[in-house]
Structure 1
Amino acid sequence: MRHLYSLFLASAALLFTVRAFPSTTPTLELRADTFENPVLWQDHPDLDVFRIGDVYYYSSSSFAFSPGAPLLKSYDLVHWTPVSHSVPRLNFGDKYDLLTSSSRAYVKGIWASTLRYRKSSDTFIWLGCIESGQTYVWTADGTNAAKNNGEVSNWTWKSKGTLPRCYYDSGLFIDDDDTMYVAYGSKEIMVAQLNAAGTAEVKSQQVYASPDGAYIEGSRMYKINGTYYIFVTKPADDEWVLKSSSPWGPYERRILVDSIAGPLSNAGNSHQGGIVDTKDGKWYYVAFMDAYPGGRIPVVAPLTWTQDGWPEVTRVNGEWGKTYPLPVRTDKTVPPPTNIDTFMGPSLSHEWEWNHNPDNSKWKFVGSSGGIQLQTATITTDLFSARNTLTHRILGPKSSGTFRIDISKMASGDRAGAVLFRDVAAYIGIHKEGAVSTLVMVNNLNLTMSTWATSSSGKVAASGPTVAAGTTDLWLRVEADITPAFGTSTARKATFWYSLDGKKFSQLGDPFSLTNTWQFFTGYRFGVFNFATKALGGQVAVKSFQLQKL
């Protein structure tokens, strides 16, 4: 997870243009015999993947976004949709609640974690080490997933406490006899055996030491044809395979991938992740690429096996292929990532995550008309310290996020709008002072790398017209290009737009330069916010959000 690179930081300026946006009629995607990498152009790193019946499940990290540990499903390893979060709330300490500007959890929280289904108890089990301390355990009833061909009728996650040891970058494995093991560690790979209930450790021992002390992490443990495997990554280029006849070793090592070129330019090499089989016995490696400014995105490649039991990635001209045959042919499908969300409730869809834990007393669904009400939850001048910023992953390589907002109940001193959220951020929104509501584009919102303290709370880069105080329909749009530019001096751009009728959009401010640095770990997101600078009491209603690929 802690990759070592060096990149640059870019800045932004001003512009004003007018645009009419294209129609948004949805189209059905035709099924093909092949697929293209990346399979999902969204930030879903540190993945763990497995199959139950016809259903593939994918768990990933989420850092300080809440709820955490998003869980996706697929029927073909190519088309994915979020269905749950394994950690409903980040109950890891006060810093995850954004209670003060000096106590925040940026870059902390849920890193590489692990999820598995235990057939004997019909239970999903999630494990994650938080801040190199304890390992937290969450479980969900499987609702007879094994008997229902992998389908889960509803997800209800419950905290099962903690294990005292940090199972760093862990991989949970359940053996044929139902014994639970956890592979974990860096440089030295350990295997722990849990008790029958999964609530305590029985034993733990080192099973492999990295040659020359090389840093390795991201353990995933499997048993295939009676042989035990631990897959580990040597960030950020290589994937190693450890192989043994016993979970306790000794383990042999081979290199699965070694700095092979990936399917996208200006992105890192494919590594980490895990492997999974199909019902007809084929195997696939699901990895990710460092694709900043968009984050880390998943790619898939077929696996074959040598006669002596070592996996090999199927390459195309010596590289990770851009295109491969579709892993599974099926009529089952999942919803596409582009959509319109009118927030009908009773809960937020799993595309959404708050920046840190929300103050649930300060937001609610509006009612039968749809929408969510965001009351001001924090008095601050710093967006990075404001509670209840709601975020959505960007769809690459280019997409827009459009929020339709009712600003009629904002109070003097309130700030509300649509943000392009990361450690170097910008937004378009309303600054209300007295009875005057002014459209602004604000950039230069920056966190200091490594300490993640706010170095700049932003400056108004462009001002638009004043908006009538009683405005109940204001459309705010962010268009973002997250085409990979990792390790380059190229700055991808985002633009900010507004409309009073939902049809004719005007750009406000110059294109904003996205940063390509990796240290914040997560990629850019769309977000919507509302905070106070004077007193609490104001509110906005977010009527809808549309994600559209450009």
Structure 2
Amino acid sequence: MKFLTAAFAICISCFAHSAPWVPDLGNGNYKNPVLFADYSDPDIIKVGDDFYLVASSFNTMPGIPVLHSKDLVNWKIISHIYDRLPFEKHDRQAHGLGSWAPSINFHKGMFYVYFCTPDLGLFVATAKNPVGPWSLKHMADVELWEDPDAFWDDDGQAYLVRGKVRADILYLHKLSADGKTLLDDGKVIFKDLKTQPVIEGPKFLKRNGYYYIFAPAGGVATGWQSVLRSKSIYGPYESRVVMNQGKTNINGPHQGGMVELDSGEWWFMHFQDRGLYGRVAHLQPMNWKDDWPVIGNDSDNDGIGEPVLEWKKPAIGKIFPIEAPQTSDEFDSKKLGLQWQWHANPKQEWYSLNRAHKDHLRLHAVQNLTQAGNLRFVPNLLLQKFSSPAFVATTKVTFHPDGKKDKAGLVVMGKTWAYLAFYKTDSETRLGLFNGTYEQYDDATKEIASVSWPATSDNYSAFLRVDVCDGGLSQFSYSTDGNTFINIGEPFQATAGIWIGAKVGLFSLNSSIEKSAGYMDVDWFRME
């Protein structure tokens, strides 16, 4: 069991100089990103003294997290818009599908969240309280619509603006007064392939007699934030770039939402594509000049801002405790923590919590004919986002095998993946490190290293760990006592998934044609 490597020494060194990602600097300032996790396509609103944020979920369930903050810097997850999408295709992994770029609005005491899926069309969810419950309506069965946002004009007429996948066009529809029914087929209100290619993610605002549409352009990794302006909601709209990368290292700063504070300050939340970490969320100051917004710091006074890395916190008038979205879970509740998402519509038979084993999560060996472990086809992956540049994830598990092809353990998941898992052979149970890739269609998951594991009363217990360094290099290790950890295999380079960042979490499966009664009990999962 001698798997210590030079690469591991490098990994340990990086942790000696890393710390948890805390955007609130405690001195009246904050640093970006305020959410160092994959909160793609964020939109924000202010209701009373509270701020709410929603983000894309794509194929992960429950879908569209709702986060709450008192100061735009410290955030917590409070709910999800839906537990599952009511379509059979989402009972299996539907990589890249699911919810794209939601928007959140508040009108006459009701919260509204609009979103599209590229294949199923337009949806709206409503709730009196953002904690839920949310009521979901399928508004239009169409394909390739994306990024909707609603707006109620001064006369009460409601509108919906949206894009179309790969079309570089923005459309405007009339909505019913309750915001739940489309009233027309929509009209094209903007298209400019020369100056605003790949325009998408529109967000409405009305101010000083102008209709504004905040819309990113230029593509995710290299684009900019544009704003359209018109005296008529149907246009014609003039456009202007109001934020770009400039001389900073914040690539593609765009797509988000804006809020005005009681103090008169304006703020804009947007994402940056950070590769394996997904699309992390930045907070930028926003000012107005000649009835045009300027986002970020406009040091040369040309009307185009650049992202700030550190800035004075929003003028809320109070100081609130430092918070961050949830990560660790002791599994002592009757519900999974809000940080967890499955890779498809969840089924009750996948797991039990605090029922079969008190203060434990039980993951059943779900039958899935995956060619002995190809996780591309496994829906019952229980995962959460990478939450900082570097971290350590440790879990205490006990494996109870039944079938000959039961397998369960700790996984880092993306278009490539690695997992440290218990598995059965004809003669024994082993703990092994495996690598796989999304591109594989045959039985190409590779065993990198393994050790025999002695049983205690027909179960197998261990502490499983992955150390993730800044840049995603991930070293797996295991322990029998929770103190001394032994590395296994070489470090693995984590990668992003399909439209989502890399994730870390747990799984249990049976890849045999014969069903299994096996399972893995999880005592706790801790992120440090």
TM-score tier (shorter): 0.7 to 0.9
Asked whether the 8 Å contact 1:88–1:157 carries over to 2, the reply is: no
Q: Distance in 1 between matches of 2:208 and 2:119?
A: 34
Whether contact under 8 Å (1:263, 1:322) holds in the other structure is no
Structure 2 equivalent of residue 59 of structure 1: 54
Give the structure 2 partner of residue 79 of structure 1. 74
1:196 corresponds to 2:177: yes
1:11-22 pair list within 5 angstroms:
15-16=3-4
- Which AA in structure 2 matches 1:208? F
The match for 2:44 is 49
After superposition, give the CA deviation of every residue in 1:74-93 in whole Å (9 maximum; x if it has no partner). 111111111111122022x3
Once the two structures are aligned, what percentage of the paired residues are identical? 27
C-alpha separation in 2, matches of 1:397 and 1:304? 31
Structure 1 residue 503: Cα displacement? 1.6
Match in the other structure for 1:383 = 375
CA separation of 1:378 and 1:175: change in aligned 2, threshold 3 A = farther
CA deviation after TM superposition for structure 1 residue 436, in Å: 1.9
Of 334, 345, 351, the match for 2:333: 345
Matching of residue 447 in structure 1 with residue 441 in structure 2: no
1:38 equivalent in alignment to 2:33: yes
Aligned counterpart for 1:361 among listed residues 346, 349, 356: 349
Distance 1:164 1:379, change over 3 A: closer
Q: 1:110 aligns with which of 75, 99, 106?
A: 99
Quick check: 2:36–2:389 contact (8 Å CA) kept in 1? yes
Counterpart AA for 2:366: A
> C-alpha displacement at 1:457, in angstroms?
4.3
Residue 136 of structure 2: aligned partner: 159
**2:190 is matched with which residue?**
208
1:414 maps to amino acid: D
Helix, strand or coil for the counterpart of 2:367?
Answer: coil
Query: Which deviates more from structure 2 when the two are superposed, residues 39-48 or residues 220-229?
Result: 220-229
> Take 2:100 and 2:295, find their aligned partners in 1: how far apart are those partners?
27
Report the CA distance between 1:291 and its aligned residue. 0.3
Task: Indicate yes or no: 2:118 matched with 1:131.
Answer: yes
Change (3 A) 1:351 1:515: closer
The match for 2:231 is: 245
Residues 340 and 238 of structure 1, relative CA distance in 2, 3 Å threshold = closer
Alpha carbons 2:414, 2:501 under 8 Å: kept: yes
Tell me by how many angstroms 1:71 deviates: 1.2
CA displacement at 1:471 relative to structure 2? 4.3
Supply the AA of the counterpart residue of 1:90: L
Aligned pairs for 1:146-295 (under 5 A) are 154-165=131-142, 167-185=145-163, 186-203=167-184, 204-212=186-194, 214-234=197-217, 235-236=219-220, 237-263=223-249, 268-295=251-278
419-428 vs 321-330, which deviates more? 321-330
Rounded to whole Å, the distance in 1 between the matches of 2:484 and 2:363 is 26
- Counterpart selection for 1:496 from 476, 485, 497: 476
TM-score norm. by structure 1 comes to 0.84
Greater shift after overlay, 368-377 or 157-166? 157-166
Cα distance change on mapping 1:316 and 1:68 into 2, 3 Å: farther
Q: CA deviation at 1:417?
A: 0.6
Structure 2: which amino acid aligns with 1:97?
A: D
Q: Compute the displacement of 1:70 (Å).
A: 1.2
**Relative to structure 1, is the Cα distance of residues 290 and 26 closer, same or farther in structure 2, using a 3 angstrom cutoff?**
closer
Residue 298 of structure 1 and its aligned partner are, at CA, apart by 0.6
Shift of 1:252: 1.4
SS of residue paired to 1:361: helix
Q: What residue in structure 2 maps to residue 489 of structure 1?
A: none
Q: State the shift of 1:354 in Å.
A: 0.3
Q: CA deviation at 1:413?
A: 1.7
Distance 2:113 2:441 in 1: 33
- Supply the distance in 1 between the matched residues of 2:317 and 2:455 (Cα, whole angstroms): 54
TM-fit CA distance, 1:106:
0.7
Q: Given the alignment, which residue of 485, 492, 516 partners 1:505?
A: 485
8 Å CA contact 1:355–1:390 kept in 2: the answer is: yes
Name whichever of 472-481 and 284-293 sits farther off: 472-481
What's the counterpart of residue 284 of structure 2? 301
Show the counterpart of 2:296: 313
Q: TM-score, normalised by structure 2?
A: 0.87
Letter aligned with residue 96 of structure 1: H
Relative contact order, higher structure (CA 8 A, sep 6+): 1
Please list every run of 5 or more consecutive structure 1 residues that lacks an aligned counterpart in the other structure. Answer: 1-13, 99-103, 143-151, 484-491
Match of 1:393 among 385, 398, 406: 385
Aligned length: 497
Distance 1:528 1:316, change over 3 A: farther
8 Å Cα contact 1:412-1:435 kept in structure 2: no
- 1:441 Cα deviation after fit: 0.6
Q: Does structure 2 conserve the Cα–Cα contact (< 8 Å) formed by 1:128 and 1:135?
A: yes
* Counterpart AA for 1:390: L
Structure 2 residues without counterparts, runs of 5 or longer: none
CA–CA distance in structure 1, aligned partners of residues 289 and 25 of structure 2: 35
Letter in 2 for 1:496: F
- Aligned-pair CA distance for 1:522: 0.7
Q: Please give the per-residue CA displacement for 1:45-93, whole angstroms capped at 9, x wherever unaligned.
A: 11111111121111111111111111111111111111111122022x3
Q: Distance in 1 between matches of 2:295 and 2:339?
A: 34
SS of equivalent residue, structure 2 residue 477: strand
Q: CA RMSD in A?
A: 2.7
Post-superposition shift, 1:217? 0.7
* Candidates 89, 98, 106, aligned match of 1:95: 89
Q: What does residue 417 of structure 1 align with?
A: 409
Whole-Å separation in 2 of the counterparts to 1:163 and 1:197: 16
Q: Which amino acid aligns with 2:526?
A: Q
Is contact 1:62-1:69 (8 Å) kept? yes
Are 2:55 and 2:101, in contact at CA under 8 Å, matched by a contact in 1?
Answer: yes
8 Å contact 1:389–1:528 — kept in the other structure? yes
Aligned 8 A contact 1:447 1:455 in 2? no
Pair 1:330-2:318 in alignment:
yes
Q: Please give the per-residue CA displacement for 1:96-143, whole angstroms capped at 9, x wherever unaligned.
A: 112xxxxx411111111222222x1x222222221244212222222x
